[in-house]
C-alpha cells in the first residue's frame, strides 16, 4: 500500500506528512522503509500525549478539553497542524484507542479517528477496528495510507 502511495505522490509531485498517536510512528516507519520516500514524505509527529498535540501540532486546548484526544475535531486539527509545520501538500492524522482498555472518556478499544488535510479541505472519518493492539495499529496505518492515496489521486482530500 505504501509503495502505491509513494508512486502516486511522486508521479504528481506531491508530498505528505503524518500526525500519529495510536500508531506510534508506524506510518512514518512504513513509508521510510521504501527507497525514494524522501521525495514524498516531509515528516511526522508522534503526538502520544495531549501536551504534544497542543504544543507541537497546535491542537487547541479547548478541543482537547471538550472532545478528548480520540475525536473528530482533534483528528482534523492534528492533520492541519502536521501539514502546517511540515509544508506538505497533504497530511493524515490518526488518534484512537489501541487497548488494552477503553480510554478515560469511554471510547472502546478499536475506536480510531483519521483526519486528512489538504490545501483547502479538512475531513475526518471514524472507524472501529477489531483485534489486538498490534492489529489495530497495523490496520489504522493501512487506512491512513488508503486515505492519502485517495486524496493524491484526486489532488484533494475527500472522505
Q: At what angle do helices 133-154 and 2-12 cross, to 10 degrees?
A: 20
- For residue 155, the model assigns a pLDDT of 52
Across the range 14-18, mean pLDDT stands at 97
Q: What are the CA-CA distances from residue 12 to residues 16, 58, 94, 110 (Å)?
A: 12, 29, 24, 33
CA atoms within 13 A on the CB side of 25: 5
Full-model pTM: 0.95
- Kindly list the structural domains of the chain, giving each domain's residue range(s) and its CATH number in brackets, ordered by start: 2-154 (3.90.950.20)
Residue 157 has pLDDT above 50, yes or no: no
- The tens digit of pLDDT for each residue in 53-100 reads 999 999 999 999 999 999 999 999 999 999 999 999 999 999 999 999
Amino acid at each position: 500500500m505504501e509503495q502505491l502511495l509513494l508512486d502516486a505522490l511522486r508521479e504528481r509531485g506531491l508530498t505528505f506528512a503524518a500526525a500519529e498517536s495510536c500508531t506510534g510512528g508506524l506510518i512514518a516507519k512504513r513509508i521510510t522503509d521504501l527507497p525514494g520516500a524522501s521525495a514524498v514524505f516531509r515528516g511526522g509527529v508522534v503526538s502520544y500525549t495531549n501536551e504534544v498535540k497542543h504544543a507541537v501540532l497546535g491542537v487547541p486546548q479547548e478541543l482537547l478539553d471538550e472532545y478528548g484526544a480520540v475525536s473528530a475535531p482533534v483528528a482534523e486539527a492534528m492533520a492541519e497542524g502536521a501539514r502546517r509545520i511540515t509544508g506538505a501538500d497533504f497530511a493524515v492524522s490518526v488518534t484512537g484507542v489501541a487497548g488494552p482498555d477503553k480510554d478515560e472518556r469511554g471510547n472502546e478499544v478499536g475506536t480510531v479517528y483519521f483526519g486528512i488535510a489538504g490545501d483547502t479541505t479538512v475531513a475526518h472519518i471514524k472507524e472501529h477496528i477489531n483485534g489486538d493492539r498490534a492489529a489495530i495499529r497495523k490496520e489504522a496505518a493501512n487506512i491512513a495510507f488508503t486515505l492519502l492515496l485517495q486524496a493524491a489521486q484526486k489532488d484533494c482530500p475527500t472522505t
